[in-house]
Copies of this chain bind each other. A is one copy, B any other.
Amino acid sequence: VKSVLCRRTYFQCVHKYVSPLLSEKENLSEFGACYTPHGHGHNYTLDAYVEGQVDSVTGMVINLRDLDLALREAVQILDHKHLNFEVAAFKECIPTTENIAAFLYSSLKKTLQNYPVTLNRIRLYESEDLWVDYFE
């Protein structure tokens, strides 16, 4: 039997929206309140969907301890960070929800490589009324 398991986790960070390809006026027009010198922050919620065979002995697709470790490894690169200033991937790429989701998908896929599940997709909430689904 195959099963898709989802684990939710949380992290907090800061971002600001500014493009070096746009003038100050264009940045302000495009990004409004998100174009600020120091940025603003969110409580992000990450849902990671993994799929695999249900182990006939343990009844699980993956031990939750392992899944939590893999998630923590992927999330800690961003947690309690100012994305624009402290995370290499967002030095030249605006940390929108779309881009953070793509980054987390790719990180998590790597950290899950040694586990018996594959990453099905992720959902990243910036707030209760805005989120991104990312999958391949």
Q: How large is the interface on A (under 10, 10 to 19, 20 to 34, 35 or more residues)?
A: 35 or more
Q: How far is the CA of A40 from the CA of B21 in the complex (A)?
A: 26
B86 near A132 (CB under 8 angstroms)?
A: no
A32 near B65 (CB under 8 angstroms)?
A: yes
Choose from B36, B81, B86, B133 the contact partner of A4 (Cβ within 8 Å): B133
A19 near B54 (CB under 8 angstroms)?
A: no
Choose from B9, B12, B40 the contact partner of A129 (Cβ within 8 Å): B9
Q: A4-B132, A12-B41, A14-B41 are in contact. List 7 more A-B contacts (CB 8 A).
A: A19-B58, A30-B63, A31-B58, A32-B65, A38-B86, A39-B41, A39-B82
Which residues of A are interface residues toward B (Cβ below 8 A)?
1, 3-10, 12-15, 17, 19, 21-22, 30-34, 36-43, 49, 54, 57-61, 63-65, 79-82, 85-86, 93-99, 101-102, 127-134
Going nearest first, the 10 A-B pairs with the smallest beta carbon separation are A41-B41, A38-B82, A59-B94, A59-B96, A8-B129, A40-B80, A4-B133, A3-B98, A12-B40, A14-B41
